[in-house]
Structure 1
């Protein structure tokens, strides 16, 4: 997303996504934004500010930054993820990467940016307070109201209390269709423990690798249920390494090497692995195809999906589940157990959105993050509760003019995606 003021630009996040390959139901391709429309004016771009460490917010940096070569500002944890990606690509980012401190203003050209701490499904997540001489925009990014997020301070309105001259709020729409409040991350432990204790043999759990709180919860579940645990999958192994390096991993939770699990009695095994979205080369698919280097599965072993189903991945996930069921392996998916917290979202549900907006009283809201149905639900919620005077809806490539008057200029920029 690009913000413009007084002839200068500020880029917020730079993420990657996935698209299905033509005539394929299981294979996908990674895609990043086509930034070619920006290149003719890249001298206007003052910097890139990162809200948090998820792939859909920083995963494209390593692909597009070489064409821009501007400063990048990120939290310590996000910066570590960025450094690792650039090192793997044999690119030196050190002179351009700046580590921010929460709540400390940073001047980027004509923009002043503050990182406001919020709770989400990855540590060191932030909303952005972006201020210019004309007013302040709050870019919420991904957030939730979590009173007990396990690894960080609870969500608080206090950081938002110092916003002055708020002219617009750019808000997360991911859960705008869901009524009520999003449950706390801490709600998962009891239900995951009960579910694991009911399994007589091996348990394999898959979740989003970036959710350190969930990884720690699962490690505690393993300990409480008398099991040893290991993690498998490159992304998950890297996240565990970063968690230890940044002081998030508890010293009393010691992971085994995946190689050791194959020598243990079946009832003492828990493997935490990648593949919750049916990714073709993930740890779960290797187990389903019986070509894992570490261990095999047998009938009555159990797979637990501690994650939601992202809509674009439904076919792949179903194919993976079917592959396990054909082998007599028990499959438990969080979405099919609505009365249990086997997974909780990292995004605000309707009541959370209402509470934040009632607190902030934004005059203008632009719903982002989600498909058209989510943006429309977000807009409808605002209108029903009279949370803002103006709501602007649009699509990629539209220009949203905030000052002097809120309006949308359709198709202002030609946008597209590039396959990686």
Structure 2
């Protein structure tokens, strides 16, 4: 008695076709007319995707392909489901498809720093007990009250059991340490063999010029007392904007060293540190051989819509154009080019000229990435390329390591007073 048949019961729809209508169809004289139509094929294109670690400047994982619409010009990061473990996207949203490929920039996920602590133990060598202290990494241990020992005078804390090197309580703690008490037997006050057994001590007079410091500094008397036969080490450091010019020991130069040790002391000595101000003027560092540092020229402009974009990140191309505008001689043969810098681009002349001078560099894959925001480290390296001096400079930023490719440049810029970090961080990879 059925008068209708539902399309859900059809199991043999011809390949390459789809139903025009779905649902109940009328049965006429035992027949059902089922309308079908060819399935339209959607054209697609294959896009090659590469994950690139922008912090360590290397590819992560294997290149793979993904299918997108044939007319697609962008790939949205929401379609990426295989981001390497331990990484996060630098940019999210649409990424431009160029020559059938997309490079997805990623960076390692930074774990929160783990606060380290160390234990400083005090060995009283027979004296009254002194409690150990737990100290955070890089902080100084609090000097405890002097222990006591009947018949002896406490002389101080030493880093070795032989009691040869006194401990400097201004030293940042970077590991577990044990300090040892030194004692001097008091004089009996009698004659003959009952006299004092005190160890002979000598004085090292410390003089520190303006622009730095010597540790230990001898306190208000500028004198450091050393027991006969012991060693005494002094550390010399320059303030920002200064450098160690010379160190004099007993009136004789030992060079611009940052550490000096008196060995097996058996007489009084003197040590003096001399500091000089570093060059902070471009002319003093040789910058004016390349850049016009005398005339006021227009080296920065705004955008065609009349805005300047002060809150926007400066791109690598814009940075190159800025330094190029200051060159004394812009007529430089081009010996370097980049695959992503078209010859007719507004920044091409600036980028290729500075690259040919060795002032800027691209990436191992032959690109320059002109539209990428320039990082603080990259900008610092370009600026110092015009004023670099092959000397050793100290850098106290906690996020800049001596193994970093930009370390020498950041250290020199810090010494010049060009850059600073209120919280002792430079944030080299930020824009």
Band the TM-score falls in, shorter-chain normalisation: under 0.3
Structure showing greater radius of gyration is: 2
More helix by share: 1
Instruction: Provide the TM-score with structure 1 as the length reference.
Output: 0.23
> Highest relative contact order (Cα 8 Å, sep 6+), 1 or 2?
1
Select the structure that is richer in strand. Answer: 2
Provide the TM-score with structure 2 as the length reference.
Answer: 0.23
